[in-house]
Structure 1
Amino acid sequence: MKKSTLITTIAFAFVMLLTTNVNAQKFSKLDKSPMDAAAFPTDYKDSNKLIKIVYSRPQLNGRDLATLAPNGKVWRTGANEAAELTLYTDMKLGSTTVKAGTYTFYVIPGEKEWTAIISTDLNVWGSYFYNEANDVARLSVPTSTGESLEAFSIAFDEADNGVNMHLGWGTARVTVPFTK
């Protein structure tokens, strides 16, 4: 009886396999510039965030930063889609108050300073369709240098009456202050 039950089970499984329409899902390969996010407060247990940015992390791979993010040209602040900035409370970039909401965050790199730009553009790939008329706020900030970073990175820390967003790639460092 056990042998016939086993044969029946195998036969049933085989028939089900033949009659089931199986479509394999096609997954894309691992992105060479993976998407990442940074937020403040940085503790993942603290859900009361003030600010968050979602961006892709390109690698230098022996290339020059000035080639990948040319001085004087609007850059998407990462790779692939332009960086998406979410403010969970009204904040200021420089003297401009930016209402809570989701925006695109661009920068214009420079030798001695970078210009940070908050734009109403959304769901933008790259900076190819950047439109200055959609800018909500701009702020020029000085650059500094640091230890070389292979992957573009963004981090936040607390500042007087606000939050600092730190951008780093290669030896370039930029701090963008957001105040309450």
Structure 2
Amino acid sequence: MPTVFAHLNVFFGGVAVTLSLTAIAGVLSIAGGLLVAVMHIYPVPTLRTLGTVYVEIIRNTPLTIQFFFVVFMLPSLGVSLSYFIFAVIALSVYYTAFFAEAIRAGCNGVAIGQAEAARSIGLTFFGALRLVVLPQALRTVIPPLINVFIALVKSTAIASAFGVAELLTVTEQFANDHFHQM
């Protein structure tokens, strides 16, 4: 146990990377999820279809496959970034679909009469969405968003398989270095 306490800085470094991945991917995913959710409920059929296709394809593809695509396909297309940035991209693309579904479900949970009333007083679609629908949807959206955020934190461990030294990697390396010497 003293060995673990002597190397707490190593563990805190792994925790810092995990929290950084979570925070950056979380912010990007929520922003992207809001955009995709709006596309999904927008009255223009083309945008609605694009939002639906994005959500269905991304949600039904394993995160590991998306990591493979980002980490191995993007460099072959000439994109050269750090593995941390690749992990942020993969997590953001994946969790955008889940945040979008949670936001869309919350918007659909608001009574249709609320949006119709907003439109009848002259608000545009976006005005009604921003001033009437989203504020009411917020209370029903928070629990699913928290669940998706927790899943995002747990999914950062997949980044360790692709070269990002987050908490899982640091712990594994520490265990290999210190407990196999005994």
Shorter-normalised TM range: under 0.3
> What's the TM-score once normalised by structure 2's chain length?
0.19
- Per chain length, whose mean CA-contact separation is higher, i.e. which structure has more relative contact order (CA < 8 Å, sep 6+)? 2
In terms of fraction of residues, the more strand-rich structure is 1
